[in-house]
């Protein structure tokens, strides 16, 4: 039985053409600034995001942490959404390694920050207070259902940050998905943030990596923190070649993943007992199943070679991505329907 792996878009494998690009990559020692393929990727990424400079990192987690360290001083507070990936899934690096406090404010179901709460969370100048150093936003928003923040949503955060002279970092691990959903270039979304991190290893189907973009000065600072975090990668053109290929060839196909997510969501919602929570806006599909222990449902689907994740909080997540075709979605739906019909 074919395995249909819907756990994450991180499971994507490089295509034959991407492997070819990796095999043929020109290499050098990137810690000396000598890897031509890394330099090419960083220049392309900066251009695509409309920023001065860019930095290849090992992962989205490393990009976000290097960004927080470069924007802030030890002891500062970083405002994040209470559903932010930075808060939930990055192993507490901001506190543990950065000496930074994470100050959560409410995310609405659309993944937007509650701006009243942000305003209240920004600290005044007082010897008692940890200074506020940064505001972080996320687009698409993972735990808010892969929701897409609009330009207006991002502009509103920018205006508020400007009132207080604060920088904004955009965790855009799936920013190209947001751009595809809105039908705008990614730079239109990135321009409301001082720095933006986007993933290579998710929908763009590269084996490894993330790129952090921002001003020349900011990237110079982040480069030192990347080194400190163990991210100086020598002949990293092996990784960057996949990124160059992906920026040229993998961005335009993301709309297919969104179509497949809608197909999946429509099919799931027609199965008795399944309730979508909420309908997908990009490539992430969340749902619950009434009368089921969700961990058990995920395990039983795994026995039928449909892989997905129990997200906790009463939700299962399925993700569409490169390598999942329309026919795979249809087949997954058949297997889910059969299992649900057999009962808990
Ligand atoms: N998200 C992964 C898991 O960590 C949950 C996934 O499968 O969705 N920002 C956002 C919004 C992310 O969704 C992720 C990865 C990251 C950052 C971190 O990227 P990596 O995994 O490259 O460190």
DSSP 8-state assignment for residue 113: B
**Beta 210-214 vs 53-57: how paired, if at all?**
antiparallel
Nearest CA to ligand 1 atom 18: 60
Is the C-beta atom of 63 inside 6 A of ligand 1? no
Q: Does the CB atom of residue 8 touch ligand 1 within 6 A?
A: yes
Residues 103, 80: contact at Cβ < 8 Å?
Answer: yes
What gap in Å lies between CA 342 and CA 338, rounded to an integer? 6
CB 201 near ligand 1, within 6 Å: yes
CB atoms within 10 A of CB 257: 23
Res. 232 pLDDT band, cuts 50 70 90: very high
Long-range residue pairs from 18-21, CB within 8 A, at least 24 positions apart, any chain: 18/205, 18/206, 18/242, 18/245, 18/246, 18/249, 21/241, 21/242, 21/244, 21/245
In this structure, how many other beta carbons lie within 10 angstroms of the beta carbon of residue 337?
16
Ligand 1 center–CA 129 separation, angstroms = 31
Angstrom distance (rounded) from CA 307 to CA 297: 11
**CA 8 to ligand 1 centroid distance, Å:** 9
Q: Is residue 184 pLDDT above 80, yes or no?
A: yes
Cα dihedral 330, 331, 333, 337 sign: positive
pLDDT band (50, 70, 90) for residue 278: confident
Cβ 199 under 6 angstroms from ligand 1: yes
Pocket test for ligand 1, best of 12, 61, 281 (most atoms within 8 A of CB): 61
Give the pair of three-digit tokens for residue 52.
């001065």
Measure 89 CA to ligand 1 centroid, in angstroms.
7
Query: Does the structure show a pLDDT above 80 at 343?
Result: no
Among 8, 9, 10, which is best to mutate for testing ligand 1, by the most ligand atoms less than 8 A from CB? 10
89, 146, 281: residue to mutate for ligand 1 pocket, most atoms within 8 A of CB: 89
3-state secondary structure at position 84: coil
71 Cβ contact partners less than 8 Å away, ≥ 6 residues apart:
133, 134, 167, 169, 194, 195, 218
Task: Please indicate whether residue 214, judged by its CB atom, sits closer than 6 Å to ligand 1.
Answer: no
What percentage of the chain carries pLDDT values higher than 70?
100
DSSP states of 22-66: HHT-----GGGT--HHHHHHHHHHHHHHT-SEEEEES-HHHHHHH
CA 93 to ligand 1 centroid distance, Å: 14
Instruction: For residues 53 and 217, give the distance between their C-alpha atoms in angstroms, rounded to a whole number.
Output: 9
Beta bridge partners of 128: none
Ligand 1 atom at minimum distance from 9 CA: 7
171-181, pLDDT tens digit by residue? 999 999 999 99
Pairing of strands 4-5, 53-57: unpaired
| pLDDT tens digits, one per residue of 92-112 | 999 999 999 999 999 999 999
Query: Whole-model pTM?
Result: 0.98
- Mean pLDDT of all residues belonging to the chain: 97
The pLDDT of 12-36, averaged and rounded, is 98
Task: Give residue 121's pLDDT.
Answer: 98
Choose one of 63, 148, 173 to mutate for the ligand 1 pocket test, by most ligand atoms within 8 angstroms of C-beta.
Answer: 173
Pocket of ligand 1 contains residue 89 by CB under 6 Å: yes
Measured between alpha carbons, how far is 265 from 280 in angstroms, rounded to an integer?
A: 7
């Amino acid at each position: 039985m074919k395995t249909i792996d819907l756990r994450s878009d991180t499971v994507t494998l490089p295509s034959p053409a991407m492997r070819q690009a990796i095999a043929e990559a020109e290499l050098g020692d990137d810690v000396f600034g000598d890897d031509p393929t890394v330099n090419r990727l960083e220049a392309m990424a900066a251009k695509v995001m409309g920023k001065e400079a860019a930095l290849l990192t090992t992962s989205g987690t490393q990009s976000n942490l290097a960004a927080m360290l470069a924007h802030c001083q030890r002891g500062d507070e970083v405002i994040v959404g209470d559903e932010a990936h930075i808060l939930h899934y990055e192993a507490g690096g901001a506190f543990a390694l950065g000496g930074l406090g994470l100050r959560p404010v409410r995310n609405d179901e659309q993944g937007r920050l509650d701006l009243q709460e942000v305003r209240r969370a920004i600290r005044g100048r007082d010897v008692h207070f940890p200074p506020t150093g940064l505001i972080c936003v996320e687009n698409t928003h993972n735990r808010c259902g892969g929701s897409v923040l609009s330009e207006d949503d991002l502009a509103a955060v920018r205006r508020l940050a400007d009132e207080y002279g604060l920088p904004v970092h955009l965790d855009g691990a799936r920013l190209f998905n947001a751009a595809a959903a809105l039908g705008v270039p990614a730079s239109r979304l990135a321009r409301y943030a001082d720095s933006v991190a986007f993933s290579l290893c998710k929908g763009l189907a590269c084996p490894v990596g993330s790129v952090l973009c921002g001003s020349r000065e900011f990237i110079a600072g982040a480069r030192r923190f990347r080194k400190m975090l163990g991210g100086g990668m020598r002949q990293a053109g092996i990784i960057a070649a996949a990124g160059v290929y992906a920026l040229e060839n993998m961005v335009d196909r993301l709309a297919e993943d969104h179509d497949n997510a809608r197909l999946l969501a429509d099919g799931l919602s027609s199965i008795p007992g399944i309730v979508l929570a909420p309908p997908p806006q990009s490539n992430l599909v969340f749902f619950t199943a009434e009368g089921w222990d969700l961990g058990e449902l995920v395990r039983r689907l795994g026995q039928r070679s449909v892989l997905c994740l129990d997200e906790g909080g009463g939700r299962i997540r399925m993700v569409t991505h490169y390598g999942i075709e329309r026919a795979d979605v249809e087949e997954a739906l058949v297997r889910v329907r059969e299992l649900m019909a057999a009962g808990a």
